[in-house]
Homo-oligomer: A and B are copies of this chain.
Amino acid sequence: MPRPEPAAADASPQATSGPQIVWQGRHLHMARDGRWEFATRPVKRPAVGIVAVTDQGALLLVEQHRPPVGGTVVELPAGLAGDLPGAEQEPLVEAARRELQEETGYEAQRWTELGMGYSSPGLTDESIMLFLAEGLRKTGPGGGDGDESIVVHEVPLPQLDGWLADRAARIDFKVYAGVYLARRGGLQ
C-alpha cells in the first residue's frame, strides 16, 4: 500500500498522522514518523532470501561487493519482489525463483516458506521472507544480472559452521537466520 508522500518538511513532529517521506532517492527513500527516521524503499514489497540446498547437501551462498560497507559480504541469494516493471505484484516465491536463477544459475523443484522477519526494524521497514529451496538443477551461469558480479559458494552442510566462522565479520546476518530456520525445520 503506498504511503503518503508529501514533500513538505515536517514542522510539527508530534502531530503527524503516519510516516512522511522526507527524502527521495532512486532506490531508497527516507521517512519520518514523529521523531523517528527510517529508510524505506519505493517498492512496498518484502525482500526475499533463499536457503538453497543441493541434492549433494551443500548450501549455496553468494559473495559480492557491497558499497555501503565497502567490501565483499557473504549472503543468501536474495533480492526484491515487485521491482521489475510489469511484475509489481509477483508472488514472493516467483521473486525468489528469479533471484536464485539470476544469482546462482540454479532452479529448484521444491519451495518452502521458512519465515518472514525484519532486518533492522529501528532503521528500516525492510521485511524479508526466507525460503528453503530444494531439488536443485543447474540451468544457467548465475553471477547476477548485468550490473552484478556475484561469486557463488557451494558449502557442504557438515562444514558450514566452520566455513562461516572463518569468514566472521563479513557475513550478512540473514545467513545465520536462514540456517537457524532451516535447521528448526529439520535440515541436518
Contacts and interface: CB of A to CB of B under 8 A. Distances in A.
Interface of A: 19, 22-23, 25-28, 30-41, 66-70, 73, 75, 115-128, 161, 165, 168-169, 171-174, 176-177, 179-181, 184
A123 B66 CA distance: 9
A155 to B, nearest CB: 14
A64 B40 CA distance: 20
A133 to B, nearest CB: 18
Given A25-B32, A33-B67, A34-B67, A39 B124 contact: yes
Given A36-B67, A68-B121, A176-B176, A115 B27 contact: no
Contacts of A177: 173-174, 176-177, 180
Contacts of A173: 117-119, 128, 173-174, 177
Nearest to A35: B26
Contacts of A75: 121
B39 A123 contact: yes
Contacts of A28: 30, 37-39, 123
Nearest to A75: B121
